[in-house]
């Protein structure tokens, strides 16, 4: 569904207000306004957004970190569950800060991978807040989190309520590179410009990345964060030449970031 410019503006304003106005959450949760939801980016750019869900396994995440060191231009988005944020932090206290400092992005994927479609909007929002508290605890500051992916990819009114109340873009995917190496690599080589790629922090997917990253580099593909992909998409949809600082059109606020305004 294509959202109007006005809808985006309203959504971004309600996202901002929700975090500071008590009692507004329930009102927003009950709203029937469309929630920004993305499956893929613009096909005008020679990049993919590589995304990795769950993030239970520290060793596999380390493997991916070492690989990323060899590809400094590649940026990824991780969707760790809250329990994994804490578990991995206990084993390697620098893990999340390092990833963010290296330009990678973190998104919400529930506290413990329970299905949020079966809980009330209020409890779903509380789940997001618990996740965010864990992230603030390990990072030492409140990061900007713009993208949320529902467990099992199940879209629901409760997940929409999170997006409305906390200013999130519901993030799905257009392809996956999971599975055994030949399957994952074939999916990579069949991918089209602007795709959002679903993977997990697990052995097969990291093995696929070891082959897919060099293939991407040799074929002039990049991996970008969801913020970069989404900002490009918004600019294209609104036929904007650049930032819309005054009206806060960009939900991801990277226009403001570029100007150093927060
Ligand atoms: Zn998951």
Q: Tens digits of per-residue pLDDT, 22-46?
A: 444 455 455 666 888 999 999 999 9
Let me know: does 50 contact 105? Beta carbons within 8 Å.
Answer: no
Distance 232 CA to ligand 1 centre (A): 26
Res 50 pLDDT > 60: yes
Q: What is the CA radius of gyration of the chain?
A: 18
Using the mean position of ligand 1's atoms as its centre, give its distance from the Cα of residue 114 in Å: 9
CA of 171 to the centre of ligand 1 (A): 12
User: Domains plus CATH for the chain?
Assistant: 5-259 (3.20.20.370)
Residues in Cβ contact with 130 at an 8 Å cutoff, skipping those fewer than 6 apart: 82, 111
Distance 44 CA to ligand 1 centre (A): 29
pLDDT of residue 235: 81
Give pLDDT, residue 182: 95
| Residue in the block written with tokens 């930032």 | 243
Nearest to 173 by CA among 160, 187, 158: 187
Angle at 91 between CA 88 and CA 93, to 5 degrees: 80
Among residues 234, 250, 229, the alpha carbon closest in space to that of 48 is found at: 229
**Of residues 75 and 18, more confidently modeled:** 75
Name the nearest CA neighbour of 104 among 206, 223, 210: 223
pLDDT tens-digit map of 62-83: 999 999 999 999 999 999 999 9
Q: How remote is the CA of residue 85 from the centroid of ligand 1, in Å? A: 13
User: Which is higher by pLDDT, 1 or 238?
Assistant: 238
**How many angstroms is it from 172 CA to the middle of ligand 1?**
11
Model-level pTM greater than 0.95? no
Cα of 56 vs centre of ligand 1, distance in Å, is: 10
pLDDT given at position 198: 98
pLDDT band at 260 (very low <50, low <70, confident <90, very high): very low
Ligand 1 center–CA 244 separation, angstroms? 34
CA atoms of 249 and 172, how far apart (whole Å): 21
201 CA from centroid of ligand 1 (Å): 10
């Amino acid at each position: 569904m294509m959202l109007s410019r006005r809808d985006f503006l309203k959504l971004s304003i309600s996202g901002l207000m929700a975090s500071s106005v008590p009692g507004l959450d329930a009102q927003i949760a009950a709203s029937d306004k469309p929630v920004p939801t993305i499956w893929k980016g613009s096909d005008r750019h020679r990049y993919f957004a590589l995304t990795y869900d769950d993030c239970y396994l520290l060793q596999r995440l380390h493997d991916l970190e070492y690989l990323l060191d060899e590809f400094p231009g590649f940026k990824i988005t991780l969707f760790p569950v809250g329990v994994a944020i804490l578990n991995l932090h206990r084993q390697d206290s620098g893990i999340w800060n390092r990833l963010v400092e290296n330009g990678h992005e973190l998104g919400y994927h529930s506290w413990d991978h329970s299905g949020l479609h079966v809980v009330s909007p209020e409890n779903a929002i509380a789940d997001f807040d618990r996740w965010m508290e864990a992230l603030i605890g390990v990072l030492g500051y409140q990061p900007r989190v713009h993208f949320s992916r529902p467990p099992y990819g199940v879209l629901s009114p409760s997940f929409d309520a999170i997006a409305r109340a906390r200013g999130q873009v519901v993030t799905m995917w257009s392809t996956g590179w999971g599975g055994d190496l030949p399957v994952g690599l074939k999916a990579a080589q069949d991918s089209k410009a602007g795709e959002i790629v679903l993977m997990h922090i697990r052995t097969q997917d990291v093995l696929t990345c070891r082959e897919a990253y060099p293939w991407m580099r040799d074929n002039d593909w990049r991996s970008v964060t969801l913020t970069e992909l989404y900002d490009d998409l918004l600019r294209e949809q609104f036929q904007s030449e650049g930032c819309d600082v005054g009206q806060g059109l960009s939900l991801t606020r990277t226009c403001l970031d570029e100007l150093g305004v927060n």
